Structure 1
Amino acid sequence: MEVLTPEEWEELLQEKDGELKVVLRELADVKYALDQSTILAITDHRGIILRANEQFCRISKYSRSELLGQDHRLLNSGHHPKSFFQQMWKCIGSGKVWRGEICNRAKDGSLYWVDTTIVPFVNTAGKIYQYVSIRNDITARKHMEEEVRKSEELYRIIAENTSDIISMINAEGDFLYLSPSHKAVFEHDIPDERFHNMFEWIVESDRDVMAYAIQHTYSTRKEYTVECRILTRKGDTIWTESKINPVLDEQGNVSKLLLITRDITDRKQSEELIHHLAYHDALTDLPNRRMYVQHLSREIIQAKRFQSNLAVLFLDLDRFKDVNDSFGHDVGDLLLVEASNRLRECLRPGDVVARLGGDEFTVLLSQLTDREEAAALADQIMNALQRPFELHGHSFNVSCSIGIALFPQDGDNADDLLKRADTALYTVKSHGKNGYEFFDPTMEAKSLERILMENELRKAIEQEHFQIYYQPKIDIVTGKLTGMEALVRWVHPELGVISPIRFIPIAEETGMIISLGEWILRQACRQNKLWHDQGFPLKVSVNLSARQIYQKDLVDMIKNVLEETGLPPEWLELEITESIFVKLEEATAILQQIRDIGIRISIDDFGTGYSSFSYIKSLPVDTIKIDASFIRDIHHNQESQAIVKAIVTIAQSLNMNVIAEGIELDDQVAALQENGCDLGQGYLFSRPLATDDFDRYLRKDLAQ
C-alpha cells in the first residue's frame, strides 16, 4: 500500500473538497429550479406536512407557517369521492409511487388542479417514514378541457336535435357518424348501424354528382354544396342539399368530411314552378318569348350547319281589343286560350308556337322546304282562327294578321327574324288586316307618323314637357302608405297627355331614354327630399330601362343625382324589368354597384318572361313585384294563387320583399294576404296622382 506524504494528503483533501462544493452547488441549483417551477411538499407517514416550498405556498395561498404541522386534508376540495383517496393511500401505503390529478381548495376558497406524483420513502426497518409530493399546476389545462367538454356537449345536443342530418364520412362515403334526425327525414325506424355508406341512399343517377363533390372537397379542402335525390324507405324520392366541409388533421390534410344535409323538396318544387313560369305563358301555357328566342337561336345554328331553311310567323288577333273592351278581360282571356289551342292544332311535329304577350303569337317552322310551305301554314292558321268562338254564351268572329320572315334571306339571328316578321305584320295591319305578308326590305322605311313622333319627343325632352305622377304603395294589412312609384307622363301642348306606351318604346329605340330617364330620376329624388323635409319619410321607386342599365356612366349619374338633390340613397328604389337578365353577368355587376351605394333594387313585372329561380337567387335584388296578370284572377283562380304563393315562398327564403301590382278588388287583397303577400299597389288604393294631388294624399294619410 502506497503511503502518502503530508503534502499529498493536503492536496487530495483540497481536491475532494472542491468536488463536494461542485456537487452541493449543483444540488442547490436543482432545488432552486424545482422551487421556481414545481410544487414540493414532504409529509410524514400520516400525511402531516413537514416541508412546503414557495410554489406550494403561492398556489395554496397559505403561508408556510399555516401549512407546516397540518394534515394534508386541509386542502381537500370535496371534488373527489372518498374512494379516490382510499385508492391513493392503498397505493402509497404499499410503497408504490402514485400518480394522478387532484383538485384542491386554496385558502381563499378557489379551486386549483395539480398533476401529482407521490413517492414513499422507506427506512432501514422497511417502514414508510415520509412521502414526497411533486405537483405541477394544471388548472388552465383543466379549464380548457372543461370548455371543450361543454362545447362538445352543446354540439352533440345540436346534432341530435336539429332537423338537418349531420354526418361524418370518409372518402368512400362510409358513415363515421350519423345524427338521429335521418329517421324523421326518411320516415323510417332503421337503426343507425344498418347504414354503412351514404351512396346506399342516393338515387343511382345522382351518385356521380355526390362522388364528384366528395372528391372535389378532398382535393381543394374547401366547402362544397351539392344537391341530389335520395330514396326514402317508402320508396319516395326527396331532394336534399348537402354542405360538405373538410375536416383537417394536424398535418393539414383532409381526414374526413362533415356533411349537413337538409330536405329541400318543397324548395325544388317551387323552383320547378318558377322555372315553368319563366319559360311559359301563365294564361295559355305556351312557350313565352324567352323560351321561343332560345329555341329559335338553336334552330338557326342547326339550319346553318345543315344549310336548311326556317320561317318565323308573327301574328296577332284583329279586333281583340274590341272583345276586351266590350266583354271584359275574363272573356278576352278565354279567347286567347282557345286561339292558342287552335294554333297548336295547325302545327307539324317539331314546329313551335309561343305567346309573346297580349294577343301576339309567333310560330317557328323548322326544316322549311320552300316559301309556299310557310304561306300554306299562314292560310291554315287564318282559316282556323276565323271559325266562330263560342264563349260564355256569346259568339265571336275574329281574324288575324300575319307577318313572315325567312331564314337565311331575311336575317341570320333570332332578333332580326322576329323584328322583320313584326315589320311585315304591321304592313298587313296598315293594309286593312286579315291577311299575311312576307317581309320585304322596303318595309323598314319609317312611317311619317313615326318620324313626327320622334321629332316631337326630342323637342319635348329639350323643353321638359313631362310631369311625374306618383302611385302609392300600400301595406294591405294595415292600409298604411309605405312608398310610391314615380311614373312619367308626356303633356304635349297640342295633343294633350300622351300614353307612355306610345313614346317609351321610341325613346328606348332611339336612345332618348337616357336623358329622359335621368330627368325622371332627378325630379323624383328632388320631390321626395322635399317630402322628407316636411315629415314624410317614404321610399320612392323609379323605373330603370334596359337601355339605361348598360349606359357607361349610370352609377356615376345616380350618385350625382343623389348628391345634387340631397336624398339619402336608402330612400330610393330602382325598378328593373326581367329583360335585362339576357346579359345576366353584366347586369348583375352593375346592379351590385348600385346596391353598394345603399339603393334598393326591385324586379318589376315578375313572371312575364325572363325570370328564373336560378337567376333570382344569385342577383342583388331586394324586392319582387308580382305582375298584374297573376293578380287579376287570384281571387278565383287556383293556379294564380299557387304561382303567387310559390313566388312569396321563394322570396321569403331569399330574404326578399314581395309586392303585388294591379290590385283592383277587395277579394284580390284577401287572396294575397292568404298567400303571404302583404304589400300592394293598384287602382283599389289609388290611380297615379299628379304631384299636388299626391301631396294632399300624403297629408290625408298622415292625418288618419
Structure 2
Amino acid sequence: MKSELFSLDVTEWDGLFQTNDRLKAVMRELADVKYALDQSAIVAITDRRGTILYANEQFCKISGYAAEELIGQDHRILNSGLHPKEFFAEMWATIGSGRIWRGEVRNRAKDGSYYWVDTTIVPFLDEDGKSYQYVSIRNDISGRKQMEEELKRSEEKYRLITENTTDLISVVDREGHFLYLSPSHEAVLGCKTGQVGSSLLPWIVEDDREIMSEAIQHAFSSRKSRQIEYRLCTAARQEIWVETTINPVITAAGTVRKLVLVSRDVTERKKSEQTIHHLAYHDTLTDLPNRRLFVQYLSKELSQAKRVGSKLAVLFLDLDRLKDINDAWGHDVGDLILIEAAKRLKGCIRNHDMVARLGGDEFTIVLTSVSGKEEVESIVHRLQSLLQKPLVLAGQTFTLSMSIGIALYPQDGVEADDLLKRADTALYVVKSRGRNSYEFFDPTMEAKTLERILMENELRKAINQGHFDIYYQPKTDLATGKLTGMEALVRWIHPELGVIPPNRFIPIAEETGMIIELGEWILRQACRQNKEWQNEGFPPLKVSVNLSARQLHQKNLTEVIETILKETGLEPKWLELEITESILVKLDEAIDTLQAVRQSGVQISIDDFGTGYNSFSYIKHLPIDTIKIDSSFIQDIHQNQESQAIVKAIVTIAESLNLNVIAEGVELLDQVAALSENGCDQGQGYLFSKPLPTKDFKQYLQTVHHYGEKPIGIN
C-alpha cells in the first residue's frame, strides 16, 4: 500500500482522505512536493531489490523509455556495465544501511546514447528501521560532464602540444620570471631548460629588451593579449627573430595572475620580408633604389631643405643609344652596360646623395645640400668623364655617354613631382639637340615640351584622317640633264598650320612608333602614283622611298612590300628603298632583311653616306645598289679640297663595288662641275628642282617628256 501512494494523482488523494482534514492538508502538501519534483527533477522509486516501481515524466523523458517499459524492470537496465562493480557495491551498502547516498551516475538511454545524472537516493524505512523502498532524485548533468571531459581532453592535448611543439611556450610572472618552460627552449636556445635561468629578458638582444618589458606590463594592466617581435640571442651567440603572443591568465576576480607566452622562430620569415622589402624598393638588375624609394628619399630631403634653407638638385639621366646596343649585341650586353653605368654613377656621388634607376635606360640622382649651379656642374662633369671611359664587353669596346636634365630646388619647384618633371623636360631638350650633354631647366622649355605633346596628338589625328601628301624631287644626270628618277617625300598638310616639313614630325613618329603606319602609307602612295604615271604614258622612272629604322626591323617588312607592289601593279625594279647608314647598327639582321628585299627585285640605296664613322668599313657587306653622298660634303665641294677628296674616295669605292653614286643637296653649277671632275655623274637638289606636290611634279614630267631632257638649273 505504501508503494502505491506516489502513483496516485491529486484527485485520488483528495478522495482518500476527505474525512480527515489534518491528514488531508498534509497529504496535499505531499502532493505539491510530488508535482514539483515531477516537473523539475528526475524521480524514480525502486524496491529494495532494485526493481523500478515508479518513474516520473522527467525520468521517462531523459531515458527514452515509457513508464510502462520501466515499471517492473531492474534498475540495471539503465546502467549495467557502465560503472565498476565497486561503485554499485558502495552505493548499496550505503542505502542498505538506511543512509542517504549521493553520487554521479552514468546511464544508458533506450536509443543507446549516454547521459549523466547527479543522484540522491533516499531509503524508506519500515518500523524496524530497515529499508524497503528507495526514492532516487536526479538532475541531468550531461552538459557539465561533457565539458569536463572536453576540458580533460584539452588539458591532455595541450600538455602534449607544449611538450612536443617547436614553439616556445612559457609562463611568466609580472617581473618576467619563468613559472614554466616548454622543452622546445632547449633546441632553440641551445641549452638545457635548467640552464635557461629564471628570466627571459637576459636572452633578448639588449636593444629589444624594452619591447618585452613594456609588453609584459601592458598585458598585466590591460588584461589583453598582445603580439610582439624581437630578437633572441642563443647560447651560440646567434641572433634569431621570434614572434611572441602574450596571453594574460585572468582569475575569477578579474585580475591577471600570470602570462602565457607562445613564441615562434620567424627568422626565415623576417629574411623573406626584408628581401621582399628590398625588392619592392630596389631595381632588380642594378640593385639601385627604384622610383618608389627615390621619391620617398627626395620628399624627405626636400622637407629637410625647407627646414634649414638649403638647396638641392635633381638630375634626370638617359643612357644614350642603349636601344641600339641591345639591337646590335643583345640584351645581355645591354644589361651589363646598365650594371656598369650604375656602378659608375654610384661611385661619383657623395654619401648623402642618391642615384636610382627608374627603368630602361633612365636614371635619377638627387644631390643634397649643394651650393649652386657651379657645384652641380662640377659633379656632372665628373659623371660624364667617368662614364666615357672605355668599357670592354663581349670582345667589343663601348664608350658610354648620358644625356642629363637638371632641376634645382627651390627655383625650379618645391615638390618632388615638379622637380622630376622639370628635370625630365630639360633632358628632353638635351636629347633633341643631339644627346651626350646636359641642360639646366629653363621655364621656356615647358612651352616647347607642350608644343611637342600637342604635335604628337595632332600627328596621331593626321594619320587617322589622312592629312598627308607626297612631294617628289627629281634625280638628274649631271652631264645630260636627263631625269633618272625621283624621291618621294612626305609632307603633313595641316588644316590650320598648312604644310609641315618632315623634320618636325618624322622624329616624333619614330619615337612613338607611328612611323610604321605612316611609312606603309607613303610606300603605297608612291608606288600607286608611279604606276599611274606609267599608265599615262610617261617613261618609267624609279621612285625612291625612305625606310625608317623601325620599319627596317619589322618582322614582316618583306611581306608588306610585296603586298603593296602586288596591289599597285608596280614592278619591283621601279622601286628603290633609301636607308640611312645610322640605322645599320644591328648589321647582321639588317643584311638579312635587305637581302630578302633585294631578291624581290627592289633596289636599295644608302642615304647620307659618309657621315658615320664606320661608313667605309661596312659598305662592302651590304646588299645595296646606290650610294647617296651626304649634302654636307657637297655644299663646299667647289671650294674645299678635303670635300673633293672624300667624294672622290666614295666614288672610287662605289666603282670598285659596282655601285651607283648620286650627290644630295646640289644647288650650284660650280658644284656640278666639281662633282663631274671627281667622277660623280648624278645629282639631286634645288638646282634641278625643289620637292614638288604631285600635280606640279606631273607638269615637270610633261615638260621633260616634251623636250626629252631638261636643262640644268631651270625649273
TM-score range, shorter chain: 0.5 to 0.7
Question: Which one of the candidate residues 47, 50, 54 is aligned to 2:49?
Answer: 47
Question: Which one of the candidate residues 21, 25, 43 is aligned to 1:22?
Answer: 25
Unaligned runs of 5+ in 1: 1-15, 464-493, 505-704
Q: What corresponds to 1:391 in structure 2? A: 393
**What displacement does 1:262 show?**
3.6
Q: What corresponds to 1:691 in structure 2? A: none
Q: Are 2:505 and 1:502 aligned? A: no
**1:406-447 deviation line (CA, Å, top 9, x unaligned):** 211111122222222222223223333332222221122226
**What displacement does 1:305 show?**
1.4
Q: What corresponds to 2:294 in structure 1? A: 292
Question: Which one of the candidate residues 120, 135, 140 is aligned to 2:138?
Answer: 135
Q: Are 2:119 and 1:116 aligned? A: yes
**1:475-504 deviation line (CA, Å, top 9, x unaligned):** xxxxxxxxxxxxxxxxxxx99999997289
Q: What corresponds to 1:33 in structure 2? A: 36
Q: What corresponds to 1:316 in structure 2? A: 318
Cα distance in 1 for partners of 2:223, 2:464 equals 58
Q: What SS is found at the alignment partner of 1:446?
A: helix
Question: Which one of the candidate residues 404, 408, 416 is aligned to 1:414?
Answer: 416
User: TM-score when scaled to structure 1?
Assistant: 0.55
Distance 1:58 1:227, change over 3 A: closer
Pairing of 1:218-367 with structure 2 (within 5 A)? 225-242=227-244, 261-367=263-369
Name whichever of 283-292 and 144-153 sits farther off.
144-153
Name whichever of 369-378 and 442-451 sits farther off.
442-451
Pairing of 1:423-462 with structure 2 (within 5 A)? 423-446=425-448, 449-457=452-460
Cα distance in 1 for partners of 2:55, 2:424 equals 102
1:48–1:69 Cα contact (<8 Å) kept? no
Cα distance in 1 for partners of 2:465, 2:204 equals 65
Q: What SS is found at the alignment partner of 2:448?
A: coil
Name whichever of 61-70 and 221-230 sits farther off.
61-70
**What displacement does 1:96 show?**
3.6
Q: Are 2:208 and 1:206 aligned? A: yes
1:284–1:340 Cα contact (<8 Å) kept? yes
Cα distance in 1 for partners of 2:29, 2:327 equals 113
Which amino acid counterpart does residue 80 of structure 1 have in structure 2?
A: H
**1:499-522 deviation line (CA, Å, top 9, x unaligned):** 997289xxxxxxxxxxxxxxxxxx
**1:108-133 deviation line (CA, Å, top 9, x unaligned):** 76654332223456667666665544
Q: What SS is found at the alignment partner of 2:312?
A: strand
Q: What corresponds to 2:92 in structure 1? A: 89
- Number of positions where the alignment pairs a residue of Structure 1 with one of Structure 2: 459
1:246–1:254 Cα contact (<8 Å) kept? yes
2:46–2:54 Cα contact (<8 Å) kept? no
Flag the structure with more relative contact order, 1 or 2, with Cα contacts below 8 A and sequence separation at least 6.
1
**1:448-478 deviation line (CA, Å, top 9, x unaligned):** 6543211133567899xxxxxxxxxxxxxxx
Distance 1:253 1:496, change over 3 A: farther
**What displacement does 1:395 show?**
1.9
Cα distance in 2 for partners of 1:335, 1:36 equals 93
Which amino acid counterpart does residue 502 of structure 1 have in structure 2?
A: T
Q: What corresponds to 2:103 in structure 1? A: 100
**What displacement does 1:80 show?**
0.9
Cα distance in 2 for partners of 1:65, 1:281 equals 87
1:165–1:260 Cα contact (<8 Å) kept? yes
Name whichever of 403-412 and 21-30 sits farther off.
21-30
**1:262-297 deviation line (CA, Å, top 9, x unaligned):** 433222212211211222222222222222222222
Cα distance in 2 for partners of 1:59, 1:428 equals 95
Q: Are 2:90 and 1:80 aligned? A: no
**1:209-265 deviation line (CA, Å, top 9, x unaligned):** 455656667777776544333344444333333456677777888887776644332
Q: Are 2:384 and 1:382 aligned? A: yes
User: TM-score when scaled to structure 2?
Assistant: 0.54
Q: What SS is found at the alignment partner of 1:353?
A: strand
Distance 1:100 1:456, change over 3 A: same
Cα distance in 2 for partners of 1:409, 1:255 equals 64
Cα distance in 1 for partners of 2:329, 2:336 equals 11
Cα distance in 1 for partners of 2:189, 2:136 equals 60
Pairing of 1:475-624 with structure 2 (within 5 A)? 502=512
Distance 1:75 1:268, change over 3 A: closer
Q: What corresponds to 1:587 in structure 2? A: none
Which amino acid counterpart does residue 86 of structure 2 have in structure 1?
A: S
Distance 1:63 1:192, change over 3 A: farther
**What displacement does 1:81 show?**
0.9
1:35–1:53 Cα contact (<8 Å) kept? no
Question: Which one of the candidate residues 372, 375, 379 is aligned to 1:373?
Answer: 375
**What displacement does 1:77 show?**
1.5
1:166–1:178 Cα contact (<8 Å) kept? yes
Distance 1:292 1:140, change over 3 A: closer
Distance 1:440 1:128, change over 3 A: closer
Q: Which has the larger radius of gyration?
A: 2
1:40–1:133 Cα contact (<8 Å) kept? yes
**1:556-598 deviation line (CA, Å, top 9, x unaligned):** xxxxxxxxxxxxxxxxxxxxxxxxxxxxxxxxxxxxxxxxxxx
Distance 1:220 1:430, change over 3 A: same
Which amino acid counterpart does residue 418 of structure 1 have in structure 2?
A: L
CA RMSD across the alignment: 4.5
Distance 1:361 1:126, change over 3 A: closer
**What displacement does 1:78 show?**
0.6
Cα distance in 1 for partners of 2:341, 2:62 equals 94
Which amino acid counterpart does residue 103 of structure 2 have in structure 1?
A: G
**1:309-331 deviation line (CA, Å, top 9, x unaligned):** 11222223333333322222222
Cα distance in 2 for partners of 1:412, 1:338 equals 32
Q: What SS is found at the alignment partner of 2:106?
A: strand
**1:532-553 deviation line (CA, Å, top 9, x unaligned):** xxxxxxxxxxxxxxxxxxxxxx
Distance 1:74 1:319, change over 3 A: closer
Which amino acid counterpart does residue 356 of structure 1 have in structure 2?
A: L
Distance 1:48 1:449, change over 3 A: closer
Cα distance in 2 for partners of 1:293, 1:437 equals 22
Q: What SS is found at the alignment partner of 1:362?
A: strand
**What displacement does 1:352 show?**
2.2
Which amino acid counterpart does residue 54 of structure 1 have in structure 2?
A: N
**What displacement does 1:332 show?**
2.0
Name whichever of 333-342 and 136-145 sits farther off.
136-145
**1:130-159 deviation line (CA, Å, top 9, x unaligned):** 554433444455455545655666666666
1:229–1:239 Cα contact (<8 Å) kept? yes
Cα distance in 2 for partners of 1:449, 1:58 equals 92
Q: What SS is found at the alignment partner of 2:402?
A: strand
Distance 1:63 1:408, change over 3 A: closer
